[in-house]
Amino acid sequence: MISDKTFLRPWGRMIEGAENPVSDRSLVKSIRTPFRPIPRSLAVTLSLAVWVVVITGWFALTYSGAVKEMFLPRPDAVLATTVDMALDGSLWEHVLASVQVVLIGFAVSSVVSVPLGLTMGTYRIVQAFLDPLVNFIRYLPVTSFVPLFILWIGIGIEQRVAVIVFGIFFQQLVMIADSARGVPRDLVNAAYTLGTRRIDTVFHIVFPATLPNVLDVLRVTMGWAWTYLVVAELVAARSGLGYISLKAMRGFQVDVIFMAIALIGILGLVTDQLFRLARRIAAPWAN
Amino acid sequence: MSALKLSASPRSSDIDIDKIVLRYGNGENAVLALNGVSFHVERNEFCVIVGPSGCGKSSLLYLIAGLEERSGGTIAVGGKPVNEPGADRGMVFQAYTLFPWLTVAQNVEYGPKRKGIPQAERKDMVGHFLAEVGLAGFANHYPSQLSGGMKQRVAIARALANDPDVLLMDEPFGALDSQTRHSMQKLLLKVWDHSKKTVLFVTHDIDEAILLADRVLVMSGRPGQIKKEIRIDIARPRSMDLVMEPGFIAVKREIMELLKNGEDDDR
């Protein structure tokens, strides 16, 4: 007889706390069953595999000559450019400039949107006043405001920060207000019967109750902040990943564009993971 | 020590309900939920309201808790008129309302903390009330780690730790399976015996009503009114075996008849 443990070993721990050992047959069954968790090691393998597929495909397309290098650079050329720029220090300057713009923009936006969004979701009078305006502004294209920002704020870092803030603030506000509205009424009622004053409801009940949601909203909008980076560095920037990719466009340096895109993606991924970690630490009860 | 002292001299008040009217909506769409409900709950009494669903029995509790606004009539708890929610009226809800971001211990001490009771004293209270509901070993668990019955036990401990004058209970065991419900009823009677709070308990379960109550108020269907009050003279402590006694069954039949008539009224 082979014990269940023998089958368990190659896959290790199950995701989402499923503790029962799996046999080979139930593994096949479980991956075909909707919503069924899969073994963690399989999940990790697959999430690496997707990159292997993408990068192999990239190699195949470029080295086979199917796509001209002018349109799609070879992966090793992109890597070589990255190493060159990292060694001469210019890469770090651009990364730092972009990180600065995104983080400041994100912080400025979030510091206002979280308390205001929670208040908006909690008090109907605030909602009634702000909703029409917010829902109007959040459909306006950020790009069309770039000339106005330059006119109003100039061409310093403030202008780039303003683009990021404009891109995410109103979206954050709407989503945070929504999660505040979703707080169960009886939770608030229970708090009242325990002596919570009305004025304390936002801070004592709505804020902790929505914290996991708020952190998710921040995580998602952080991703959007990265996508607005190129728009922010469209005009009048002297450094930054968006700036160098726009500059590279003029000289058909496709490898530089690819490098900038990849770096923005990687930085986005890093901030995303940091927010996931923050959620686990700040709201351990919601896991 | 302070916790024991506290439970030895518990606060308790009477509840006076006079001609309560509750109307939802305006004009033609208005619904009359409660129409002139009056009754009185004695200090230390265990009073149970039974009625068909939608008769407004839960709304009545929300009105007493000050969580809803009445359309007419007066409510007084301990002689003081009720216009707002307050810590003097503790409530246990049908839905699970433990604060998910707080541990069991932090949930229980939430009310005392709002009142500014010092930490050392709060710690005693938490220990006392968690032991009272049999959850001494779960102080550091989060609500999501508890079963439904355990959550409601914590909710009872949380309400009592705040030392309210009256305890309002809105079908607190409605979502539990019958086994758990029986043990919760037993536990509640024990806790009530120790605390002697005035309890107003709403349920649609007739067995539960008779087992727990000093007095049962039977309500009619919408618009809700008190149809009859029935004093339950079964000696305490009461056991679950009572449900098969002839005396118990006679009361149960009477209440069932009253509720059945209520259905006929609707037609």
Q: What is the mean pLDDT of residues A254-262?
A: 92
Reported as half-sphere exposure (CB side, CA atoms, 13 A), residue B59 has a value of 24
Residue A15 has pLDDT above 80, yes or no: no
- Give the minimum alpha-carbon distance from B106 to chain A in angstroms, rounded to a whole number: 13
Q: What is the pLDDT of residues A209-253, one digit of tens each?
A: 999 999 999 999 999 999 998 888 877 788 999 999 888 988 888
Of A191, A192, A285, the CB nearest to B100: A285
> Tokens 């070879």 map to which residue?
A74
Q: What is the pLDDT of residues B57-103, one digit of tens each?
A: 999 999 999 999 999 999 999 999 999 999 999 999 999 999 999 99
C-beta atoms of B93 and A186 within 8 A: yes
The pLDDT, as a whole number, for residue B29 is 84
| A275 phi, psi to nearest 5 deg | -70, -35
Of A187, A193, A211, the CB nearest to B91: A193
C-beta atoms of B99 and A211 within 8 A: no
The pLDDT, as a whole number, for residue B26 is 83
CA–CA separation, A23 vs A4, rounded Å?
6
C-beta atoms of A192 and B97 within 8 A: no
Residues paired with B40 in a beta bridge: B16
| A223 contact B CB<8A | no
Q: Is the dihedral of CA A118, A120, A126, A130 positive or negative?
A: positive
Interface of B with A in 184-243 (CB under 8 A): none
The pLDDT, as a whole number, for residue A22 is 52
> A284: which chain B residues are within 8 Å (Cβ-Cβ)?
142
Which span out of A60-74, A178-192, B24-38 was modeled with the highest average pLDDT? A178-192
| B91 contact A CB<8A | yes
Residue A9 has pLDDT above 70, yes or no: no
* Residue in chain B lying closest to A205 (CA): B99
pLDDT category at B28 given cuts 50, 70, 90 is confident
Interface of A with B in 183-202 (CB under 8 A): 184, 186-187, 189-196
Percent of chain A with pLDDT over 90: 71
Spell out where A63-204 has E strands.
none
> B59: which chain A residues are within 8 Å (Cβ-Cβ)?
none
Conformational region of residue A39, where left means phi above 0, alpha means psi within -120 to 50, and beta covers everything else: beta
The pLDDT, as a whole number, for residue A151 is 92
Its ipTM equals: 0.91
- Give the minimum alpha-carbon distance from A2 to chain B in angstroms, rounded to a whole number: 34
The pLDDT, as a whole number, for residue B223 is 86
* Residue in chain B lying closest to A186 (CA): B97
Contact B28, B180 (CB under 8 A): no
* Residue in chain B lying closest to A209 (CA): B101
The pLDDT, as a whole number, for residue A265 is 92
- The residue of A188, A194, A206 whose CB has the most chain B CBs within 10 angstroms, and thus the best one to mutate to test that interface, is A194
Mean pLDDT of chain B: 89
C-beta atoms of A193 and B89 within 8 A: yes
pLDDT category at B263 given cuts 50, 70, 90 is low
